């Protein structure tokens, strides 16, 4: 017999279904226009060979404990040292995911008398970290530099005594546009605060040698960067670059770091190889740049859309149900394109999020844009 208490969960799911907001797991199928495997590294033979070699050398699949117990493997430390040198950070900590890293950072480093000012479109993981923080928080309109400044000034005028923390993405995951990093770094420095840059979708793709759009800022004593490893780097985990004293503070105070089993040493070995590939195989970024230029012209000519200028291209639909229907038409024709709906994006902005990766070619991009133009017309209200 099913417990009556289950009914409230069924009611919630039914409500999501009525609003065309119900989520479900789907298998991988069709041509990849949805993954974050931007450089095609996830199945790269060199990456697989590096992990195989690590297995042969005795590197374990599981860490066996937290980093503060026996789970601190030499491969973790080697990765962190190499990543710090690669990105130009004073120290790097390796986490199991970008979500875990953001939650740990924002729930630990900002103090009770501090202020966290974040962009309205910031990652959900940052929001969850902020919800566990003792610091005050303020949200500002997307990309509005003046609003960040105004929020900090308002807080100071009201008696704010601590440090402000500015939280942004360098490349926004659902819009494909860039954050105004130099201006925000200047604001953070002027107010004695910190700038936290989530580089999840820029790492490996943009910046000097794929080092991200905040490349060059890591050496500043007040800039923290998060580089996720499960997107362009093709593996899993996240690398948090930060000043050494803050890294030590995280090791002593970040509960999700202290009380979590350490990430797989095998994955750490894979990330080490992915960073080497960033330096050894710059042609991957060159090929992706050329693909983005080609795709941009296809979006402009076939769909009348202004290209985002990045590997992430939103196609705005608006209505949840219509977005789902168009995505289903594309999937039925062999193109793996997904509908993105609230609460992942704001109400009324349901969209198709199209990702351009090295897993496709120009012919497939042309075929996709032509079919998408037809599908949008077929589902026109």
Please list the active-site residues.
Answer: 36, 123, 169, 173, 198, 201, 231
Per-residue burial over 23-55, b if 16 or more Cβ lie within 10 Å, else e, is: eeeeeeebbbbbebbbbbbbebeebeebbeebe
Is the C-alpha dihedral spanning 76, 259, 236, 94 positive or negative?
Answer: negative
Task: Decide if 323 contacts 317 (C-beta within 8 A).
Answer: yes
| Per-state percent for the chain, helix, strand, coil, to nearest 5 | 45, 15, 40
From the list 304, 292, 307, the residue with the least C-alpha distance to 362 is 292
Q: Which of 235, 245, 244 is nearest to 269 (CA)?
A: 235
Residue 240 near residue 103, CB atoms below 8 Å = no
For residue 66, the 8-state DSSP code is B
Three-state SS letters, 139-167: EECCCCHHHHHHHHHHHHHCCCCCCEEEE
Other C-beta atoms closer than 10 Å to the C-beta of 132 total: 13
Before 343, cis peptide (omega within 30)? yes
Q: For residue 74, which phi and psi values (nearest 5 degrees)?
A: -60, -30
Closest by CA position to 242, among listed 67, 133, 77, 94: 94
Within the chain, where are the H helices?
Answer: 7-18, 45-56, 74-87, 98-108, 124-131, 145-157, 181-190, 244-253, 255-258, 265-280, 283-303, 320-332, 362-378
CA angle 6–9–12, rounded 5-degree value: 150
What's the Cα-to-Cα distance from 28 to each of 32, 305, 334, 337, rounded to whole Å? 8, 27, 11, 11
Per the CB < 8 A criterion, the answer to whether 357 and 39 are in contact is yes
């Amino acid at each position: 017999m099913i417990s009556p208490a289950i009914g409230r969960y069924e009611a919630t799911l039914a409500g999501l279904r009525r609003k065309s907001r119900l989520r479900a797991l789907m298998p991988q199928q069709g041509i990849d226009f949805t993954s974050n495997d931007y450089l095609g590294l996830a199945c790269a033979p060199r990456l697989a060979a590096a992990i195989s070699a690590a297995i042969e050398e005795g590197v374990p699949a599981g860490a066996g404990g937290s980093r503060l117990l026996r789970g601190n493997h030499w491969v973790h430390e080697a990765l962190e040292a190499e990543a710090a040198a690669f990105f130009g950070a004073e120290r790097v900590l390796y986490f199991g995911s970008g979500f875990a890293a953001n939650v740990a950072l924002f729930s630990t480093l900002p103090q009770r008398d501090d202020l966290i000012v974040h962009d309205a479109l910031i990652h959900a993981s940052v929001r969850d970290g902020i919800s566990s923080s003792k610091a005050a928080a303020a949200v500002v309109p997307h990309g509005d530099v003046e609003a960040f400044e105004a929020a900090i000034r308002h807080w100071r005028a009201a008696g704010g005594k601590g440090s402000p923390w500015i939280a942004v993405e360098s490349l926004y995951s659902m819009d494909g546009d860039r954050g105004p990093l130099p201006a925000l770094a200047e604001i953070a420095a002027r107010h004695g605060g910190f700038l936290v840059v989530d580089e999840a979708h820029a790492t490996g793709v943009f910046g000097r040698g794929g080092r991200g759009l905040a490349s060059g800022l890591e050496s500043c004593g007040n800039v923290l960067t998060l580089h996720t490893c499960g997107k362009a780097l093709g593996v899993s985990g996240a690398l948090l670059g930060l000043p050494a004293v803050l890294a030590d503070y995280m090791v002593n105070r970040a509960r999700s770091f202290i009380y979590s089993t350490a990430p797989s040493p095998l994955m750490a070995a894979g990330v080490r190889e992915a960073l080497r590939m960033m330096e050894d195989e710059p042609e991957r970024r060159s090929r992706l740049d050329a693909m983005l230029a080609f795709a941009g012209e296809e979006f402009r000519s076939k769909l009348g859309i202004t290209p985002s200028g990045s590997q992430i291209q939103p196609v705005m639909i608006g209505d949840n149900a219509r977005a789902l229907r168009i995505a289903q038409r594309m999937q039925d024709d062999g193109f793996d394109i997904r509908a993105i709906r609230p609460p992942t994006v704001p109400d009324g902005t349901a969209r198709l999020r199209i990702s351009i990766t090295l897993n496709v070619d120009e012919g497939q991009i042309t075929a996709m844009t032509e079919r998408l133009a037809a599908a949008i017309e077929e589902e026109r209200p």
